[in-house]
Amino acid sequence: MSLELISQNKVAGGWLKRYRHQASSLNCDMVFAIFLPPQAEEQSVPFLYWLSGLTCTDENFTQKAGAFKAAAELGLALVCPDTSPRGTELPGEHDSYDFGSGAGFYVNATAAPWNAHYQMYSYVSEELPALVEAQFPFNGKRAISGHSMGGHGALICALKNPERYSSVSAFAPISNPTDCPWGEKALAGYLGEDRSIWQQWDASILIRRSREGLKLPLLVDQGTDDQFLAEQLKPEALAAACTSADYPLQLRMQPGYDHSYFFISSFIDDHLRFHAEHLR
Amino acid sequence: MSLELISQNKVAGGWLKRYRHQASSLNCDMVFAIFLPPQAEEQSVPFLYWLSGLTCTDENFTQKAGAFKAAAELGLALVCPDTSPRGTELPGEHDSYDFGSGAGFYVNATAAPWNAHYQMYSYVSEELPALVEAQFPFNGKRAISGHSMGGHGALICALKNPERYSSVSAFAPISNPTDCPWGEKALAGYLGEDRSIWQQWDASILIRRSREGLKLPLLVDQGTDDQFLAEQLKPEALAAACTSADYPLQLRMQPGYDHSYFFISSFIDDHLRFHAEHLR
């Protein structure tokens, strides 16, 4: 469980640190970033996990989201993993922007050759939290958020483990991956062609099944001018599932915003405040 | 003077737009970005020019500074030019990170072959303002800021034209370019070996000569852990010049911060508020 410090930058009164470590669930070396707010120098703090979208690494969020000032004010640590195993060189792994490297989809692959490495669900929901929560001043409370593929990942992690998180949010999540091109490609590739197995990785389906379970506060922002809205993201499926299951969704359609980090940076402070309130 | 829209993104309630245009002072096509705050839809607004550092384009600031939320609140437009002529393919132009492309140094070159294109001072202080202030809702008030080489550029523009700006600020500026390796390389390359000519492009020297002239409010932030502090940036030369000339410098040494955009993002809101106050 050794961590190799790659870089550190002071920002907003806290510290952004990048580490490399050997990820046993993924069978490769991985890099992640953690922002420690100034409060972490004297006390333990809650952790917010951020899962990024297709083609991203840990750096897109840390460089573009503009989240550190609010996180410092709120005393939130931010943990930013990468989006897939790295350095594994599987056949065809780098051929598509929406499958393989940069596109782990936060599932546990069962189909060869992906199942040897692509266990991103276990990595982001178990291995990485166990590591960082032992190494850094963690107060026992965590929340999760993400963008696009990472919004899907955040929803999946929270819906499968509601007792582990205080709240969940997403920007433009892939809300119904069993019924969109990105999701169908990823789920078929990582899990095989049996669609019944895919259902356990679909937020809208999991929410419909959650009627009796623990429900978490859920905030979703979606730009109305997002080029992927109709074909890939389908917030209407998520909204319908939440209505059906009486799940407490706050879905905000944001006029004129697209799928970029400019959209995320416009509303990230709202998400941090939302989580901070429920992490109290 | 036609502008070709390259992209637009809604952000923080305003719009970030990138344009390409033919720059007559540079004899090439150039790209710039402008952030228009929501207020610009109904009224004219003040413009803050941002000059970027070595290796940058217009995009480093727009993607990494996290400035749009405060600019939207304050009703400030932000204008972000590129850092050098582009597409010119002069001999050796792309060989160094600190000379040629990405490193125009905001001077008007007199030495061949650079003088055919490298007129960045005229571009950022005259041609681009004339263009954007005619095309977008400008209220007649402007300020200028920048980082590193762009901090030097902001200081030079303001000191040579104090009547044109309400205020000036900089992050980690190259404060005394006639006496540091980056400056000596750039000034010798663009202006020739006669050091007496270099002096008109050195902020610390210009400030010493400004005793009787109009003085602008001046804010400078400098990280104490900046790897370029001692050899290249020399804020102590700027501070001594300001003391000598009774120039109203507010120099803030920021403990632990480095030269990166994480530093800029930590204090950009302070700079925007500083300028907004003087632009009123």
pLDDT tens sequence across A18-56:
999 999 999 999 999 999 999 999 999 999 999 999 999
B162 lies within 8 A of chain A by CB: no
Contacts of A176 (CB under 8 A, 6+ apart): A183, A202, A203, A204, A205, A234, A237, A238
pLDDT tens sequence across A107-150:
999 999 999 999 999 999 999 999 999 999 999 999 999 999 99
B148 as an active site residue: the answer is yes
Q: How far, in Å, CA of A201 to CA of A182, rounded? A: 13
pLDDT at position A213: 86
Query: Which residue, A119, A107, A118, is CA-closest to A155?
Result: A107
Q: Which of A69, A225, A252, A263 to mutate to test the interface with B (most CBs of B within 10 A)?
A: A69
Partners of B256 on chain A (C-beta within 8 Å) are: 10
Residue showing tokens 């700079």: B271
B266 lies within 8 A of chain A by CB: yes
Residue showing tokens 């897939």: A84
CB-based contact A69 B269, cutoff 8 Å: yes
Query: Which residue, B65, B68, B90, is CA-closest to B77?
Result: B68
pTM score, whole prediction: 0.96
A260 lies within 8 A of chain B by CB: yes
pLDDT at position A2: 87
User: Nearest CB to B64: which of A12, A63, A266?
Assistant: A63
Backbone torsion region of residue A184, taken as left when φ is above 0, otherwise alpha when ψ lies between -120 and 50, otherwise beta: alpha
pLDDT tens sequence across B109-158:
999 999 999 999 999 999 999 999 999 999 999 999 999 999 999 999 99
Q: Which of B35, B61, B73, B266 to mutate to test the interface with A (most CBs of A within 10 A)?
A: B266
CB pairs under 8 A between A and B: 64
B190 lies within 8 A of chain A by CB: no
CB-based contact A269 B69, cutoff 8 Å: yes
Q: What is the distance in angstroms between the Cα of B77 and the nearest Cα belonging to chain A?
A: 16
A223 lies within 8 A of chain B by CB: yes
CB-based contact A266 B10, cutoff 8 Å: yes
B194 as an active site residue: the answer is no
Catalytic residues of A: 148, 226, 259
Structural tokens at position A117: 């490495």
From the list B125, B169, B226, B271, the catalytic residue is B226
User: Nearest CB to A11: which of B10, B12, B266?
Assistant: B266
Taking all residues of chain B, what is their mean pLDDT, rounded to a whole number?
Answer: 97
B265 lies within 8 A of chain A by CB: yes
CB-based contact A10 B266, cutoff 8 Å: yes
Assign A70 a pLDDT band (cuts: 50, 70, 90). very high
3-state helix, strand, coil in chain B (%, to 5): 40, 25, 35
- Cα angle for residues A148, B66, B250 (degrees, 5° grid): 170
Assign A1 a pLDDT band (cuts: 50, 70, 90). low
pLDDT at position B211: 77
Q: What is the distance in angstroms between the Cα of A9 and the nearest Cα belonging to chain B?
A: 7
Collapse the DSSP code of B5 into the 3-class scheme (helix H, G, I; strand E, B; otherwise coil) and give the result: strand
